[in-house]
Amino acid sequence: VTEDQTRITSLASDGLRDALTIADLESLARQRMDPAAYDYCAGGSGAEATLAENLAAFARRRLRPRALVGVAKPALATTVLGRRLELPIGVAPVSLQRLAHAEGEVASARAAADLAALFCLSTFASRSMEEVAAGAGPGVRWLQLYLLRDRGVTASLLDRASAAGYDAVCVTVDVPVAGRRHRDLRNGFRRFMAGQPALLRDLAPQANGDREAALARLDAIFPNPRATWADFEWVCSRTSLPVLAKGVLRRDDARLALGSGARGVVVSNHGGRQLDRAVPSIDALAEVVQAVAGEAEVLLDSGVRSGADVLVALALGARAVLVGRPVVWGLAADRAGSGVAGARRALELLRDGLAEAMVLAGAGSVDALDPSFVA
């Protein structure tokens, strides 16, 4: 940071520019969101032990920097499943982003595209695949998919993803049922009522106006606790897109995913929103990386809040990380604007924080990171 940069930042009067950390963005977001919607986004399941542990597990790790490596500008670019990204960071498939900003996923996808970051769209996005593809410009985009109780609906989603130019499908494997979120229950918060998933309009166009009827249709196909790795395998066979398994925390499941056709695995505890007390994903990463043994790519989400967190995950074997809440806070902080600048600010904070951490740690590129950087 030069003197000039310091001055410019200090003179900036708008909140986004003043935000130095993801926590700053969250603070702005909290002021600007409906409290129940904020709770839905911020909260976790049960006693929120995993929600807290996700952050604590990153914070416990210490870095071992190398000196005088001569890195002026570290190379953040990488490839994920063969596609180039300018940074090893993606937007996690957070549902219902209209809760944060009216533009919803179109804004966050555009922010990702602007930075050549990965974007992953939720099955329960507020905006449709096609709206996002059309509105966000060219970029690497994945569709997150639930294994719904109706294979016809799943198949149609896969077909639309291919048609709309999505690059991969990321199948969530850790939602046999939705985790019990006490905040939502206490708030009486009905997420699909408040967040208006585009899928609801697809499923029940005729239910126009009758939201309860539409919700009943959705309830009939989601969640699907009977889904198994055979269903995952069916998805792999049904689409020509590469398929990843998101929500893996054990070596045996990593092997099952590979055996079922997964080209990638996302180590995740769903941001602390599914099984409370599940291991922090950063604690499960090494086990999964070892089990995968280079046969597929390993990503990670849950708990990434800073560039140093990204560095830790990459050093321990992740090819990239996904971030959910940080982008939501960016969207909501930019509620009065287009949303794009806010979401971009979140990604930039992480990107610039990663770059700074890599320079200070003496890592010239993401490939240079290895476990010796983590104590």
Positions in 76-135 near a copy of itself (CB under 8 A): none
Cis status of the peptide bond prior to 74, with omega within 30 of 0: no
Binding to a copy of itself (CB under 8 A) within 191-250 occurs at 191-193, 215, 218-219, 225-229, 231-232, 245, 247-250
- Give yes or no for residue 348 binding a copy of itself (CB under 8 A): no
Binding to a copy of itself (CB under 8 A) within 175-194 occurs at 176-180, 182, 184-193
- SS3 for 333? helix
Cβ proximity to a copy of itself, 69 vs 164, nearer residue: 69
Secondary element (H or E) of residue 37:
helix 35-42
Of 54-62, 95-103, 128-136, 156-164, the segment contacting a copy of itself by CB under 8 A is 54-62
CA dist 180 and 66 (Å) reads: 44
Among 307, 259, 308, 309, residue whose Cα is nearest residue 281: 309
Taking phi over 0 as left and psi of -120 to 50 as alpha, with beta for the rest, 60 belongs to alpha
List all residues 6 or more positions away from 206 whose beta carbon is below 8 Å from its beta carbon: none
Cβ proximity to a copy of itself, 43 vs 339, nearer residue: 43
Which residues are bridge partners to 144 per DSSP? 170
Smallest separation, CB 34 to a copy of itself (Å):
16
Are the C-beta atoms of residues 316 and 285 closer than 8 Å to each other? Answer: yes
- Amino acid at residue number 284: A
- Give yes or no for residue 10 binding a copy of itself (CB under 8 A): yes
Binding to a copy of itself (CB under 8 A) within 130-159 occurs at 147
Output the six-digit token pair for 286: 């090494």
Smallest separation, CB 20 to a copy of itself (Å):
5
Cβ proximity to a copy of itself, 4 vs 138, nearer residue: 4
- Give yes or no for residue 13 binding a copy of itself (CB under 8 A): no
- Give yes or no for residue 67 binding a copy of itself (CB under 8 A): yes
Cβ proximity to a copy of itself, 228 vs 338, nearer residue: 228
Smallest separation, CB 244 to a copy of itself (Å):
13
Catalytic residue among 32, 270, 305, 344: 270
Q: Is residue 101 flagged as an active site residue?
A: no
Among 3, 39, 32, residue whose Cα is nearest residue 16: 32
Among 117, 75, 309, residue whose Cα is nearest residue 300: 309
Cβ proximity to a copy of itself, 131 vs 174, nearer residue: 174
Cβ proximity to a copy of itself, 140 vs 358, nearer residue: 358
- SS3 for 365? strand
Q: Candidates 135, 261, 337, 362: give the one binding a copy of itself (CB under 8 A).
A: 362
- Amino acid at residue number 282: I
- Give yes or no for residue 276 binding a copy of itself (CB under 8 A): yes
Cis status of the peptide bond prior to 223, with omega within 30 of 0: yes
Catalytically active residues are 270
